[in-house]
Structure 1
Amino acid sequence: MPYDSQYTPETITPEALAHSQGPLLIEFGTNWCGFCKAAQPHIRAAMEAYPGVEHVKVEDGKGRRLGRTLGVKLWPTLIFLKDGQEITRLVRPDNREDIDTALAEIQDR
């Protein structure tokens, strides 16, 4: 799945995540967040090396159920899932290597 540069309103539910199949990266943040913007080159580069991982960018904020359900407090938060189970998460990643490591973990399982 190609890299998506924009966060979009929630279109996925916690229940749908629990039943998802395969590797999945959920990225929480906002389009105006400075930390989110700074992380994008690292996320984009890492995602290009893992085309089999689905990438969903979710706009987060007050009153957003999905982010609250998953305990998201800072942006960006990357949650790496495999077959509906959280494997790892990164909060405010600042390098590609950490993202690559997490993607490899969900890709190889």
Structure 2
Amino acid sequence: MADNRRTSTRHEVDIAARIKVGAEPEDCRIGNLSMGGAFMMMRRLPMGERVTVYFRLPTHDSEIEAVGTIRWSTDQGVGVQFDGLRARETWALGKYLESLPSAP
């Protein structure tokens, strides 16, 4: 059985996003989200790749910008571990996630 190393509760979502890999951002969708990272529905990316994810929450006016690292990749998408959010974005994400049920 796989070792689940998550330290944050995941929440199923369907949020439009952009992910910047190299110079050009590309459109994708967030399938689940936590304080620690996100599942991005998109093409495979190399593990360890540094990315920036941009998305808007329904409860927050400003765009969230999250720098992260690709931790796993499949044909369905990639797992991004956030490397740190600014205080305002951490607060907004926390408030939004509190209102959602946990993913199984």
What is the TM-score normalised by the length of structure 1?
0.31
Structure of greater relative contact order (alpha carbons < 8 Å, 6+ residues apart): 1
**Structure having the larger proportion of residues in helix:** 1
**Structure having the larger proportion of residues in strand:** 2
What is the TM-score normalised by the length of structure 2?
0.32
